Amino acid sequence: MTRKNILITGASSGLGEEMARQFAALGRNLALAARRTDRLETLRTELIKANPGIKVVVRALDVNDHDAVFKVFGEFKAELGTIDRVIVNAGLGKGQPLGTGFFEANKQTAVTNFVSALAQCEASMEIFREQNAGHLVVISSMSAMRGLGGNLSTYAATKAGVAALAEGIRADLLKSPINVSTIYPGYIRSEMNEKVKKTPLMVDTVPGVQSMVKAIEKESAEACTPAWPWTLMGFAMRNLPLSLVAKLS
């Protein structure tokens, strides 16, 4: 099934921006949302120039403004007619070890990555249930496979949370025409991790996102991306002793 109209949050940079480029190259219409509208407008111009047959609409959206999530998603649907796929991608990578005085940073990560993802899933599902069709894609992380320490404690917990949320939605929809996919990216270079140097297994943005787009197009329930080596790594993370997994933090 071709999902013609695709909504992506967090589309002004990183993985969301590159997903927009790759889906545009496949001839899809795009609804792009992010806080930085100047970057969205620049991206829109680029995409239409490279792919003149598509439609690209953009809206300013801070996903932590939960009322705005529902409003903007509704506006996108009104403009495009249908929303065939929503990619819940907007997220935050802040975090510090618990108990070290950085509760506000950890709370901000928890709200953005889980509560605001919940709002996006709710808004998406209202549209999909009305249409009786659609594909919800939740971008989790390989860190969701296991509790991690250090700066990743809260981040990993939120990504595990959204993965469980997506599975719960999937359970509700097993006999419906609405599909739900959870994507677990490994180490893919993006704006969020641009300061991280010499990380083993890190892949560049374009090939990394190509693996994500391929998995999304398959509409599998779950996928680790890139599949190699992260499918194997996911199994190892779930089953190795915590003392070994903790070294990944």
If we measure between CA atoms, which residue out of 19, 142, 169, 81 comes closest to residue 10?
19
User: Would you put residue 83 in left (φ > 0), alpha (ψ -120 to 50) or beta?
Assistant: beta
Residue of 73, 76, 155, 184 marked catalytic: 155
Which are the contacts of 18, defined by CB distance < 8 A and separation ≥ 6? 205, 206, 209
Are residues 107 and 26 in contact, defined by beta-carbon separation less than 8 angstroms?
A: no
Count the helices and strands in the chain (H runs, E runs): 9, 7
Rg (the chain; Cα; Å): 17
If we measure between CA atoms, which residue out of 41, 30, 246 comes closest to residue 151?
246
Q: Which helix (H) or strand (E) holds 195?
A: none
> Is 184 among the catalytic positions?
no
Q: Please report, in angstroms and rounded to a whole number, the separation of the first and last CA atoms in the chain.
A: 39
- Geometric angle at alpha carbon 198, from 89 and 96, rounded to 5°: 55
Query: Which residues are the active-site residues?
Result: 155
